[in-house]
Amino acid sequence: MAKSSIPELDRSALLTLLASQPDDILKDLMRTVAQGAINAEFDEFVGAEHYGREEGRLDYRNGSRQRSVDTRMGTIDLKIPRARETNFVPPLLEHRKRSERALVAAVQEMVINGVSSRKVERVLHELGVERMSKSQVSLLCVQLDGTVRAFRERRLEAAYPYIMFDAIYVKMREDGRVANQAVVIAYAVNEHGLREVIGVDIVLTESRESWSTFMRGLIERGLHGVRLVVSDAHEGLKAAIATILPQAQWQRCRVHFLRNIMAHVPQHRKLEIAAAFRSILSMETADAARLQAVKIIEQHSKANPKAMEILGAGLEDVLSFFDFPSEHHRKLWSSNPIEHLNGTLRKRTNVVGIFPNAGAALRLISMVLIEQTEDWITERCYMSEASMQLVNSPKNAYTRGA
């Protein structure tokens, strides 16, 4: 990321000044910045500045249209330039606003489905949305649902050597009562080293059957080349992985495993045991890690018998990452990457609280995942393409379990 040209002290003073300003001033600032970015994008789109007479221009200006955009600062009005021959859609708005639009649509559905106006007003205040109508809701939902469907049903053309599975729970109203339902997510690294969210769905509970159905759907869409699956030790999920993806190795998330161990360690020994556990996985080979684990278990068995029993029983489940390139180890030994993504989702879903139905929840969550996937595609590779070739090479030991 480029370093700001504003000196540190000046940036600090600017942030302090902005924080002290009323919302309408910040909203005006947002409008000015957004309008300036849109105008610059349009100049590039038509190939000429305003009143410019450059040769080789691509199109001509044809006035502008007003567009109101609901943001967390409130509703701002922008002028969207028109082109004479082609349709100009500012990437700034389309890319960044879709999840916000999905969030607004979810809240608006709350009104349609009879949620108390007081609660809706509180949520709308959080969003800064000033106006809404049922006809706008209907059109918005249709547009968003088409985008969500295309994302969830797209063909998986590349091979995906690494996959992580996880779930979060959201509250929704079904048949007149509120219940928790599981949002299951598949996050993957493809053969080129790029990250993607390749699947998302809502199920009643994390059972073997629901996970199996989810995974079969991925295979029907083209999922192939899976070498390693990372997840927690949920029994239903483990059973589904073993049945549907038998060719892949399984890596138990080290973070979840450590939590299970620490649940049986007294408070005054937690830091010591956590450091000992990390020393096992910091070894250069799986054999060295096993030897280190033997030492740790012998050293702490008397004071922490149950914790060391859990460590010994589950050790092999957290060593699978050693069978893959060392460059990938820190990105494979836990499901932390998807946990971070889950945190982003929870921030959005917590604003709504209780979704009026599964469709509203899936719409919002999918739009956040779409934006995240698009961001990943534009970033540099998560894992180098050269190292990914090692994973798939038939001459390399990293293909064990294929």
End-to-end CA distance of the chain: 39
Indicate whether 213 and 69 sit together in one domain.
no
Indicate whether 81 and 209 sit together in one domain.
no
User: Lowest-pLDDT range, 49-53, 170-174, 288-292?
Assistant: 49-53
Per-residue pLDDT band for 5 (boundaries 50, 70, 90) equals very low
Determine the Cα–Cα distance for residues 229 and 223; give it in Å rounded to an integer. Answer: 13
Would residue 74 count as lying in a domain? yes
Rounded mean pLDDT, 225-243: 95
Indicate whether 182 and 275 sit together in one domain.
yes
Indicate whether 280 and 193 sit together in one domain.
yes
Could you give the number of structural domains in the chain?
2
pLDDT at res. 36: 81
Determine the Cα–Cα distance for residues 167 and 190; give it in Å rounded to an integer. Answer: 21
pLDDT at res. 4: 44
Indicate whether 64 and 169 sit together in one domain.
no
Would residue 231 count as lying in a domain? yes
Indicate whether 283 and 204 sit together in one domain.
yes
Which of 89, 111, 142 marks a domain boundary? 89
Q: Which domain range does residue 82 map to?
A: 18-48+58-89
Indicate whether 78 and 193 sit together in one domain.
no
The residues near 367 (Cβ < 8 Å, ≥ 6 apart) are 98, 99, 101, 102, 144, 147, 148
Would residue 5 count as lying in a domain? no
Would residue 261 count as lying in a domain? yes
- Whole-model pTM above 0.85? no
Indicate whether 76 and 200 sit together in one domain.
no
pLDDT at res. 348: 83
Which of 89, 112, 144 marks a domain boundary? 89
Would residue 283 count as lying in a domain? yes
Would residue 319 count as lying in a domain? yes
Q: Say if residue 8's pLDDT is above 60.
A: no
Q: Say if residue 96's pLDDT is above 60.
A: no
Would residue 240 count as lying in a domain? yes
Angle at 318 between CA 338 and CA 339, to 5 degrees: 15
Q: Say if residue 12's pLDDT is above 60.
A: no
Would residue 75 count as lying in a domain? yes
Nearest CA to 166 among 40, 292, 345, 296?
345
